[in-house]
Amino acid sequence: MRKRLIWQVAIGPQRPLWEKCLASVATYAERHGIDYHLQREPILRIAPKDSHRSVAALKLGYLPNLEKLAGLDRLGEYDQVALFDADVWARPDAPDIFEDVVRQADYAACVEREMPIIPAYARKLDAYARGQYGEARFPFFNCGVEVFSASIQRHLHGQTAAQFLARPEFVDFIAGKGAWRWASEQTLMNVWLHACGATLQHLSWRWNGLYGMIDAQRLNEAHLVHFLLSSHLHGDDPETLLRTHGRPRI
């Protein structure tokens, strides 16, 4: 039987919406017999040596959006590790995401361009992809929900998460040079995953329903709802937000 883990990070005070999301994922993991870990304190503390990032991005003295990659260090113990952002809500009847990951996949996640996104967001994607990846149609994964299999370790070459992030090819990204000034770990991981030769699986968009970016009627089909840009939302109850279909600004 495969050993599976869901890893989340929530450092410092969290708004009520996020705490409800975190609680839903913990319940989801328990229901499916999946191990669960919530990281409440920093582990990696990755900081740029020559920062081009904003003062706000480094207010803690490190880049908190890289902390969830600490979960990769558990791949020696687990066959599969899923990293979920703190703003992901699991429906009470959501099925087991690991059952949808094929055994030969080193990595599995949802590609944003394959989601039933609204036209306004589709236009945004071209500019985003061009700035982050140099190609408007780059098929990037949204890393809010992602599953790593232990087989990805051959591409990590025995490195820990901290050693991986210290690779020379990531220096400019960590520093936030140019268009990467505001980038999360998503850009770094997409560039690496598409270049390292890993076997990649495109999961159904239902595993990462982007709230406000996906047609409201279709969003009801999502197993996991991702409240990205949640700072623009008014309300802290996931089910109420889904009923009212309020949209963050995009």
CATH of the domain at 87: 3.90.550.10
Can you list the pairs that 169-172 forms with residues at least 24 positions away whose Cβ atoms lie under 8 Å? 171/49
- Establish if 115 belongs to a structural domain: yes
Does the pLDDT of residue 44 top 70, yes or no? yes
What confidence tens digit (pLDDT) does each residue in 45-78 have? 999 989 999 988 899 999 999 999 999 999 989 9
- Establish if 249 belongs to a structural domain: no
Domain that includes residue 37, residue range? 4-244
The pLDDT confidence band at residue 247, using thresholds 50, 70 and 90, is low
- Establish if 30 belongs to a structural domain: yes
- Establish if 219 belongs to a structural domain: yes
- Establish if 250 belongs to a structural domain: no
Do 40 and 12 form a contact (C-beta atoms < 8 A)? no
Q: Calculate mean pLDDT across residues 25-30.
A: 98
What confidence tens digit (pLDDT) does each residue in 150-184 have? 999 999 999 999 999 999 999 999 999 998 998 88
Domain count, the chain: 1
Do 6 and 23 form a contact (C-beta atoms < 8 A)? no
Task: From residue 106, give the alpha-carbon distance in Å to each of 3, 5, 86, 109, 159.
Answer: 15, 15, 23, 11, 16
> pTM of this prediction?
0.95
Task: Please state the φ and ψ torsions of residue 7, each to the nearest 5 degrees.
Answer: -115, 130
**3 state DSSP class of 198:** coil
Residue 158, by phi and psi: left (phi above 0), alpha (psi -120 to 50) or beta? Answer: left
How far is it, in rounded angstroms, from Cα 166 to Cα 46? 9
Residue 246 has what pLDDT?
Answer: 56
Report which of residues 152 and 230 the model is more confident about: 152
The pLDDT confidence band at residue 225, using thresholds 50, 70 and 90, is very high
